[in-house]
Amino acid sequence: MISEVTYGDKTFEVFISQEEIQVILNRLAGEINDAYADISEPIVLISILDGSFIFMADLVRKLSVPIEIQFVKLKSYEDMTSRGEVAHLLKLQTSLTGKHVLVVEDIIDTGLTLEVFSEELKKQNPLTIKICTLLSKPEVHNDIIDIDFVGKEIGPEFVIGYGLDIDEAARQLPHIYRLKIG
């Protein structure tokens, strides 16, 4: 395992190994399969690009409930601090009226992205909206939104790998790394 990686002047250390990610994925998929066990029509999974593409791809292959897949591209982040606004770079291409919707996010930091996006989804009158995130930073978002499926709660640290980037680099790392302090 490559235990440390460097981008510019920043060094990152392994935080969540790919083995631990697999354990998390299996548990999350089990929770989702159970939650939707009685629903026969496909659930619309909406992946928020770019960061969640690997998580989404791994998660769907563990789901036994029928699904459809949609992608949106929202951006609320530049460098390592939140900008406090959400831009739609790729919009949803389908109607959600009368559908069960599950939003798949890589990481919830301030919660702003999902707070704004959930309000927009509600306008389409889906039957249900649930949220699944691989990582959550509760000390940052203070539970301003309800998260239905959480892979792992982490502190207010900056993480990369497994889809998460630092200035678009590092997304292909199989493990999740965190900024090394000191």
Interface residue list for ligand XMP (CB under 6 A): 48, 51, 76-77, 82, 105-113, 158-160, 164-165
Please return the burial class of 102, using the count of CB atoms within 10 Å of its CB with bins 0-12, 13-18 and 19+. buried
Pick from 117, 114, 151: which is nearest to 136 by CA? 151
Complex with ligand XMP: residue 29 or 114, whichever CB lies closer: 114
The phi, psi pair for 135, rounded to 5°, reads -125, 150
Is residue 109 part of the annotated active site? The answer reads: yes
Q: Which of 9, 34, 109, 167 is catalytic?
A: 109
Binding mask 4-23 for Mg ion (x = CB under 5 A): --------------------
Task: Tell me the closest approach of the beta carbon of residue 173 to ligand XMP, in angstroms.
Answer: 11
Contacts of residue 42, Cβ cutoff 8 Å, sequence gap at least 6: 66, 67, 68
**Whether the Cβ atoms of residue 17 and residue 175 lie closer than 8 Å to each other:** yes
Backbone phi, psi, residue 143, to 5°: 55, 35
Q: Strand 81-90 relative to strand 67-78: parallel, antiparallel, unpaired?
A: antiparallel
Q: Which does 59 bind (CB under 5 to 8 A by kind): ligand XMP, Mg ion, none?
A: none
At closest approach, how far in Å is the CB of 111 from Mg ion?
Answer: 12
Contact of residue 164 among Mg ion, ligand XMP, none (CB under 5-8 Å per partner type): ligand XMP
- Indicate which of Mg ion, ligand XMP, none lies near residue 158 (CB less than 5 to 8 Å, by partner kind): ligand XMP
Residues that bind Mg ion (CB under 5 A): 51, 106
